[in-house]
Structure 1
Amino acid sequence: MKITRKDVEYVAALAHLELTPEETERMREQLDSILTYIDKLNELDTAEVAPMAQVLAEAHPEAAWRDDAARPGLARADALAAAPDAQEPFVKVPKVIER
């Protein structure tokens, strides 16, 4: 599957990204390269390969799962102080979805 400039521009618009013509072309080349690689992977015979949920599970079992432990986070006052626009206790953000 070949990615066109129009495809990149469509996805960029969905993500509210403004790309220069150079960025659009670079993104088109990169996405095209990724999809070409995926097409090659789809050609592989995986009939004898056991399905797995996580790649790390067998190679590094200690990295696959860890205990879910609470850790101290950013204090609310610090988070609100760092926000460009806040109204206690909320951070105000610009509207991004239009109807």
Structure 2
Amino acid sequence: MSVRLHEIAHCRAGDKGDVATLSVIPYVDTDYALLVRELTPQRVRWRLARYVGGEVLRFELPLLPALQFVCTGILDGGVTTSLALDTHGKSLSSRLLALELPD
């Protein structure tokens, strides 16, 4: 079985320059272990490959619980100067939440 990420978690996003941060927070704390296991930087990079030109770093925040992903090389220099469409943090978080994870 699989589950879409948006069914078990929500995402907060921010962007500055050519960096976006995506924080993924499970609705239920016990799903944090599933996120740690399945939501790897490589999987996030694969899901957002069309939009992320740099690396994806993951930070684990078990006391919250949450995962934060820092994605570089995404905005062609920043939101106000980019000619790219739909690469703001909020759009990236929506794309990430559509990701299918093994259950």
**TM range, smaller chain:** under 0.3
Question: What's the TM-score once normalised by structure 2's chain length?
Answer: 0.25
Instruction: Pick 1 or 2: higher relative contact order, CA cutoff 8 A, min separation 6.
Output: 2
Larger Rg: 1
More strand by share: 2
Question: What's the TM-score once normalised by structure 1's chain length?
Answer: 0.25
